[in-house]
Amino acid sequence: MPSGIIIRGIAGFYYVAVKDDGVYECRARGIFRKKGLTPLTGDRVIFSVTDPAGKKGNIEEIEERSSVLVRPAVANVDQVIAVIAARSPDPDMMLLDKILVTAEDKGIRAVVCINKIDLDEGDRRTRLKEPYTKAGYDVIETSIHDTEGFSRLKEALEGHISVFAGQSGVGKSTLLNRIMDTVVMKTGSVSEKIDRGRHTTRHAELMELPGGGYLVDTPGFSSYELMG
């Protein structure tokens, strides 16, 4: 039976990416509910093909998960990219620390990304990053105008299942779109977001990266509603 990874789950349908064989639309009939198990985005699964031409199948087995995030609901994430902005929005250091502690607690590697360095004033980011580099974290500095930090970020993502985490408006979706070299995620200005009072980014989806690996974009959140 073929195996693959769930890249997206919507209303009882799970989209399973199979190496060199595209994406299968799968269901998970009955058996999992009895075991109290629901397939999650990020799950590595074994499935039976029910319709080869239509690329449809049924998930038969879920491989053991190396990690589980609750928000976003994703399994097997092995790296968190904690994104803050040098400015606009001002960095929420409490949220950053909580993201790092949560990752540590789950045994997930964490990288700090300081984005929007083009907006930095008085080299604030050097002070921002000091405690994190001292603590042993990789700190990557990026902006839409920069290529060096951006290449480092792409390298850091290769071969991992990573998730972007951080406040709304720091530029996570903008980074993702640039990595994918196409607009896969809506982005918006901070003021637009405040006006609308809601986030631009919604359900969890694994994006297959051109350099190998997967990346999950998440909507920004504040320190009191963190990925559990």
Binding site for ligand GTP (CB under 6 A): 115-116, 118-119, 143-144, 168-174, 187-190, 193, 199-201, 219-220
Site for Mg ion in 156-175 (CB under 5 A): 172-173
119 interface partner picked from Mg ion, ligand GTP, none, CB below 5 to 8 A per type: ligand GTP
Choosing from 80, 161, 201, 227, the residue that interacts with Mg ion (CB under 5 A) is: 201
Least gap, CB of 89 to ligand GTP (angstroms): 9
Q: Which two tokens stand for residue 129?
A: 């990053």
**How many residues belong to the chain?**
228
Least gap, CB of 171 to ligand GTP (angstroms): 3
Q: Which is nearer to ligand GTP, 42 or 169 (CB)?
A: 169
Least gap, CB of 162 to ligand GTP (angstroms): 15
209 interface partner picked from ligand GTP, Mg ion, none, CB below 5 to 8 A per type: none
Least gap, CB of 185 to Mg ion (angstroms): 6
102 touching Mg ion, by CB under 5 A: no
